A and B are shown apart, each in its own frame.
Chain A
Amino acid sequence: MKDLVHIFELEDLLQEANNKLVRQAKEDGKKALGYTCYFMPEVLLDLPGCFSVRLRAPRSGSPDMATYYMSNRTCMYGRCLLERALEGGFNFLDAQMATETCTVTCRFQEHLQLMDIIKNPDFFCEFTDVPFKKNENSIDHYEKQLQDHVLDKLSDRFGIDTSDEALLKAIEEHNEICRLITEIGRYRKLDEPTITGWEFSVIQLATLVCPKYLIIDMLKDIAEQLKTRKPDAKKTYRCKVVLTGSEEDDPSFIKLIEECGALVVADRHCYGSLPGREEIIVKEGERPLRAIARHYIETSECPRFMDQHIMRERKQYLADVAKEYKADGIIISQMKFCEYWSYERTIDTLILPRDFGYPVCSIEKEYVNNAVGQLRTRFQAFVESIELKNIQKEA
């Protein structure tokens, strides 16, 4: 296929947290607000006067200093973030809007509070409590938390306008990004997709780590180009897969899967778009903040949710995604030491083939992916097994 417009520019922007567009937004006088988790609504951090940056630690090596603080038995994502912070890579942040949603990222953010790491005199780190269930009580609670720990703090510390009008405007802008990403992502549902998993992951990640107002035009151009983009004459992949699992912000990992012959057509993982890029709907008479709280609680598919029916519906959701995107199999990838996904991966690996008939490739990986050779072998074998199954089915 012909190269996607802006794709290499966007890829460049992913090479460091304090990228060109982040610097430009800072120069525009906007406050940079870091966060790590879907449960910190980016729409609130994108209010006029500030912008959200979902933290990544691209091009990480060995996080030695962070390993001293957090030992080598914790999730490497958390450690690499701390290492990057200790190296000064997050000094551009004006605040970290934290959540205690998984242990190690929580500890990383606590280090930001405890130690004088971020060299910015106005920097602060504020925690929001996030509920574990999808009921009205949780939404009430979450709404209060967002008001107190996000909106009030932004208003008090930076003078950000957090009125309902400002929120509605932020929702509108956020929804525009969501619409564009959803439109771009829809081409993955085609019998012969006209966008690769790698391309999509670059675009999706760029929307998480760059000021949105500075990339929206690029997204529009991409969406425009995709309307007429033709698939390759000869298929370059052997099967289609859904990638699901824990934190994943490395497009080269997706490239690795695709090099093995499996086109990644859906991304149901932290930093993915499923869920994540659904539009926020404000019901009639509903406060915008209430709508935001409800949206993030209702759309999240995080294994942190404990309601019985939600735990079970998560598997159905995944199977539905696989069906909708015409996937032949599912790759479940878990960051080593992520406890939520250790268990979720275990049950998914057993239930999805048994109850939904989807072949599963279940892997554990590190944030800094050094096991490329081993993973390549696993993915190649998985692709072959799917092909064999398809041959058997046809026979």
Chain B
Amino acid sequence: MKAIGKFFFKLLKFAAIVYAILFAVFYWDLDGKFLYYIWEPLMIKRFDNMKRADNTMTPYSMKDPVE
């Protein structure tokens, strides 16, 4: 019983720490700062360097009427 209580206490403590960390991330906008300064530049680099099909080479044949 005591062990279960201890486990729950530990779990609660862990949850409280995670909660506090998440609150710190929220309050100081750490998510935004991470995305703005780290994630987005990485993504921009990736997409700017991505090989893309030249869609102006798409054929332009006649089509049957669609009624």
- Does chain A touch chain B in the assembled complex, meaning CB atoms less than 8 Å apart? yes
Contact surface of A with B, Cβ cutoff 8 Å: 135, 307-309, 312-313, 315-316, 350-351, 355
Contact in complex: A308, B63 (CB < 8 Å): yes
| B67/A312 in contact, CB under 8 A | no
* C-alpha gap A350/B58 in the complex (Å): 11
Complex CA distance for A316 and B61, rounded to whole angstroms:
10
Chain A contact residues: helix, strand, loop or mixed? helix
Is B50 an interface position by the 8 A CB rule?
no
Distance in Å: Cβ of B62 to nearest Cβ of chain A: 5
Is A309 touching B60 in the complex (CB atoms < 8 A)? no
| Residue of chain A at shortest CB distance from B61 | A312
Residues of A within 8 A of B56 (CB): 350
**A313 contacts B60, C-beta separation under 8 Å:** no
Main secondary structure, interface of B, reads: loop
Please indicate the chain A residues that have their CB under 8 angstroms from the CB of B60 in the complex: 312, 315, 351, 355
A355 to B59, CA, bound (A): 9
A135-B67, A313-B62, A355-B60 are known; give 18 further A-B pairs, CB within 8 A. Answer: A135-B65, A307-B65, A307-B66, A308-B63, A308-B65, A308-B66, A309-B62, A309-B63, A309-B65, A309-B66, A312-B60, A312-B61, A312-B62, A312-B63, A315-B60, A316-B62, A350-B56, A351-B60
**Given the complex, which residues of B lie within 8 Å of A309, measured CB to CB?**
62-66
Bound complex: CA A350 to CA B59 (Å): 11
Output the least CB separation between A330 and chain B (Å). 16
- Which residues in chain B, 20-39, are within 8 Å of chain A measured between CB atoms? none
Taking the closest CB of chain A, its distance from the CB of B6, in whole angstroms, is 71
Question: Measured between alpha carbons, how far is A350 from B56 in the docked complex, in Å?
Answer: 8
